[in-house]
Amino acid sequence: MTTLVVTDLDGTVWDKTLRCHPSTLAAVHLLRDRDDVELLVATGRRRNSARSTYIANGFTLPSVLLNGAIGFDFDAEAIFHQVAFDVDALRSVIDLLVAFDLGPVAYLADTRALVVEGVTSSVRHLESLGADLEWSSMADVAPRSDVLGLSMLGLELAQVQPALAELTALVGVQAFSYADHLDPPFSLMLAPENVTKVVGIQAYLDHVEIVPDRIIAVGDGGNDLEMLAMADVAIAVRGGDQRAIDLADHVIDRPERGGWAAVLDFI
């Protein structure tokens, strides 16, 4: 029998300081060494931000990134899944953001993060982009065919709420809006059509040619809901999004208390 354990990172595996509790680290290493368990990450993080935090915590895992737009095996340094915006859909979303005076960060397939002039995202977010940051313009982003996602993090809800209904209605676009504990108070991420964590998870299973006997999903946020809903065992994090908690079969403690280690109890 094979069990797939798929987990979110921020607010689930590690805390706001991006550090794993020792008991969580021990549990991660234990599961990585088990032949009957496949351990996978599904996160909104981009490739290099996940990489740097993995390195700081002393492990890496195959990862579904940008909420399902790209899948990357850090050990093999290989992409196993990737979906970019359709050019027409990207033009539509850029036009709409311009109309509402919103400026995103655009994530490219080559790991660069294009930051438009007048960007509406937090200083913390921009600082986290590091060497991947490259200044650009909305006009330069709109015609590209290699944009995997757009985001604006650490905003007030009032800044993006007027645009949410129209963004959600756009053809070829997925909108993820959620209360953000890492970049508070609120964030918005935009992805290509039909790109979700679940799509990326299935791409990974196809890549490694595994059909698990059961799936355990662990998450805390609004972008984890579909993943939790499809799992045989859904585990949410205390203090996380109430919608995730309502979907969960079990609730574990916060990452700063090493709550993730309790996943071992459900294998």
| pLDDT of the residue at 108 | 98
| pLDDT of the residue at 181 | 77
| pLDDT of the residue at 250 | 98
Please state, in angstroms and rounded to a whole number, the distance separating the CA atoms of residues 243 and 208.
Answer: 31
Tell me the pLDDT tens digit for each residue of 17-49: 999 999 999 999 999 999 999 999 999 999 999
Please state, in angstroms and rounded to a whole number, the distance separating the CA atoms of residues 170 and 244.
Answer: 25
Tell me the pLDDT tens digit for each residue of 103-162: 999 999 999 999 999 999 999 999 999 999 999 999 999 999 999 999 999 999 999 999
pLDDT at 14 over 90: yes
pLDDT at 257 over 80: yes
Tell me the pLDDT tens digit for each residue of 186-244: 999 999 998 999 999 999 999 999 999 999 999 998 889 999 999 999 999 999 999 99
| pLDDT of the residue at 122 | 96
Assign 179 a pLDDT band (cuts: 50, 70, 90).
Answer: confident
| pLDDT of the residue at 239 | 94
Please state the rounded mean pLDDT for residues 43-67: 96
